[in-house]
Amino acid sequence: MNYKFAKVTIIGLLFLISLGGLAFAEESCSVLYNKQSVLINGYDKNQDKRISLEESYQALSAWYNNSISDAVLLDILKFSRQNCVIPSAIDNNTASGTLVVSSTQVYVGDTISLTVTGADIDGLYSLLVYYQGAWHSELVQGTTASKTFSFSESRAGTYVYFGYVYSKIPNGNLEFNWTEPKMVTVTVLDRQVVGPDLIISSVTTDPSSLATVDDVDFKVVIKNTGNQQMPLVSGGIITKVSSSSLPGSGYRICDAMTVRLQAGESTTIDCPIAQKLSQGNHDFTFFVDSSNKLTEGNENNNTLSKTIQITTGSGGQNDPISGTLSSSAKETDTVNQFVLSVTAQDDQGVDEIRMYYKGDWHTFDCAGQKSCAKTYQLSESTAGTYIYYAKVYGYDLNGNSENADTNPSSVRVVVTTAIVDTCTDSDGGANYYTYGQATPSSSAIEGRADCCKTQYSTNMGDAVNHIGSGGGECVSSGMYLYEAICQSGIPYMSVYACSNGCQDGVCR
């Protein structure tokens, strides 16, 4: 068999492959395109983003003439047979996704559903959402996928949740991208209950950073979230703390609460466990009204769980909260607005950001995110030098509150008086029977005066007594009144045909 006959035979076999007559290992369209993009783009003569069987003849011809190799020809025939689509120039095949929340306002205990949908031509790997202080993920396959994550919040507040998409790229590595939108916000409301209702709103430790040498003491804040004052309870309300880290019975009884809390009122009780703990994390559960002496509007919200960290040595190493403050302008005027921006970061969670402006502190909730950014757009109506401040609030290793000034702690903005062009009309506007003038506040702008003319013209000109060549000179008597008015703070002229003629700048 000579060389030419061998090539013709191979051509016939490759045509059978391109038509689906023989099987071969398929590769993803993106892999084939990345390998042969220049040639594939060149063979797409119809510009329909695909390589038809007829267009693949060009590759066969080039291969027959030794212009391309066997492997290149096979890649192009695979691309054609698999009906692959040439990606657009703007399509870099990055992962994309959406984030949807079931409701932006719910009550404590209601189910919140976050749905992440992802897409990538090279194949997805996982879908993620961030809620309750941690990332939650689901491994997926295919070029599109969707996953719904459901949970509930036990405390009222404003919560921010995030979405993320991971996908594959041809070299086997992973790529990632935020969903669109990047985050959603949900407001969680307290349910209105009839009667008193006790919850544990927070627990802190004393000392705030605990080491193996410290005796642990808890400070427990109890709040009445009901709509009625508590009745008198004999012996007080008992709060119990339990943990597998506590020897013996596994629980301790805190100091009794003897005050009768009003609706919405809080109090703090002491809860010492009178022992040292080993290095590591320890889980505790606090139970208010553990002896069930009080009849409450809601009996299912009396517990709070907390994890504390114990370090070796004389004290824990805390990552303190930090933040920044900036202004979009150092100088502005009394008309324009500017933006104050504050960012905060704390590995234990950012509680809130506070900004000082307009003579008062303003609070923005961050719902325990590790990083939080808030902006406020404002303007000042009086010229002067204004100083704005910001503070950031977070938590230490054991959930106790901590705060810090931002860096810088303040910014200064110089506000000057804005020059606004104004105009005064002496006859109060379009008054055709009273003579008047439109006078500007700026000497750089010419004024206007009521004027009679014999011709109609829309050429207003720029002088007081000669208003456009089309209307001619102002005259003592004519048919048309050129009425001086103020428009958008600038002197302007409007033309009015007087039914009885115009005399000395007014209609007869």
Residue 3 has pLDDT above 70, yes or no: no
| Predicted pLDDT at 413 | 93
Among 7-11, 403-407, 429-433, the range scoring the smallest mean pLDDT is: 7-11
At residue 116, the pLDDT reads: 95
CA torsion, ordered 39, 43, 44, 45, to nearest 10 deg: 140
- pLDDT of 1 strictly over 50: no
Q: Using an 8 Å Cβ cutoff, are 297 and 193 in contact?
A: yes
Least confident of 336-340, 373-377, 397-401, 411-415: 397-401
Average pLDDT score over residue span 5-19? 51
- pLDDT bucket at 134, cuts 50 / 70 / 90: confident
How crowded is the C-beta side of 348, counted as CA atoms within 13 Å?
23
Residue 397 has pLDDT above 70, yes or no: no
The residue-averaged pLDDT of 399-424 equals 84
Q: What is the mean pLDDT of residues 307-314?
A: 77
Which residues contact residue 69 at a Cβ distance below 8 angstroms, ignoring those fewer than 6 apart? 63
- How far is residue 477's CA from residue 17's CA, in Å, rounded to a whole number? 96
Candidates 209, 110, 221; CA nearest to 156 is: 110
Q: Smallest Cα–Cα separation from 321: which of 394, 214, 412?
A: 394
Show the domains of the chain with their CATH numbers.
3-81 (no CATH), 96-189 (2.60.40.10), 198-311 (2.60.40.10), 322-416 (2.60.40.10), 423-507 (no CATH)
pLDDT tens-digit profile of 22-73? 344 456 787 888 788 778 877 887 778 888 888 887 888 877 777 788 888 8
* pTM of this prediction exceeds 0.85: no
| Chain centre distance of CA 99 | 12
Distance CA(502)–CA(169), nearest Å, equals 81
Amino acid identity of 191? R
pLDDT digits (tens, 9 = 90+) for 165-191: 988 776 667 778 889 998 999 999 877
CB atoms within 10 A of CB 462: 11
pLDDT tens digits along 197-245: 899 988 988 777 788 888 888 999 999 988 889 998 888 898 999 998 8
Strands 210-211 and 303-311: parallel
pLDDT of amino acid 91: 42
Strand partners, 327: 340
Asked if residue 87 has a cis previous peptide bond (ω within 30° of 0), the answer is no
Q: Is the pLDDT of residue 395 over 50?
A: yes
Query: Which is nearest to 493 in space by CA: 460, 469, 465?
Result: 460
Whether 154 has a pLDDT exceeding 50, the answer reads: yes
Only one residue has tokens 């702008």, namely 445
pLDDT in the model for residue 249 = 76
What's the whole-number average pLDDT of the chain?
Answer: 82
In the chain, the percentage of residues whose pLDDT exceeds 90 is 25
Residue matched to tokens 């790997």:
125
What is the pLDDT at residue 93?
62
Contacts of residue 109, Cβ cutoff 8 Å, sequence gap at least 6: 152, 153, 154, 191, 300, 301
Give the confidence band of 150 by pLDDT, cuts at 50, 70, 90.
very high
Mean pLDDT, residues 152-173 = 84
- Confidence check: pLDDT of 370 > 50: yes
Q: Are strands 338-357 and 384-395 parallel, antiparallel or unpaired?
A: antiparallel
Which element (helix H / strand E) includes 15? helix 3-18
Residues 6+ apart with CB under 8 A from 116: 97, 98, 99, 127, 128, 129, 146, 147, 148, 149, 163, 164, 165, 179
pLDDT band at 74, cuts 50/70/90?
confident
Point out the least confidently predicted range of 125-139, 206-220, 259-273: 206-220
Strands 217-224 and 198-206, by their bridges, are antiparallel
From the number of C-beta atoms within 10 Å of its C-beta (0-12, 13-18, 19+), residue 224 rates as buried
- pLDDT at residue 101 tops 90: yes
Scan for tokens 């040439």, then name that residue.
86
Lowest mean pLDDT among 192-196, 305-309, 332-336, 423-427: 192-196
Least confident of 192-196, 455-459, 488-492: 455-459
Phi then psi dihedrals of residue 463, to 5 deg: -125, 160
Residue with tokens 């119809």: 46
pLDDT band at 466 (very low <50, low <70, confident <90, very high): very low
* Phi, psi of 147, rounded to the nearest 5 degrees: -145, 135
Q: Which stretch, 55-59, 80-84, 326-330, 399-403, has highest mean pLDDT?
A: 326-330
Highest mean pLDDT among 52-56, 95-99, 457-461: 95-99
Query: pLDDT at position 20, please?
Result: 46
Whole-number pLDDT of residue 396: 75
Q: Which residues of 225-263 are buried (b: 16+ CB within 10 A; e: fewer)?
A: bbeeebeebeeebbbbbbbebbeeeeebebeebeeebee
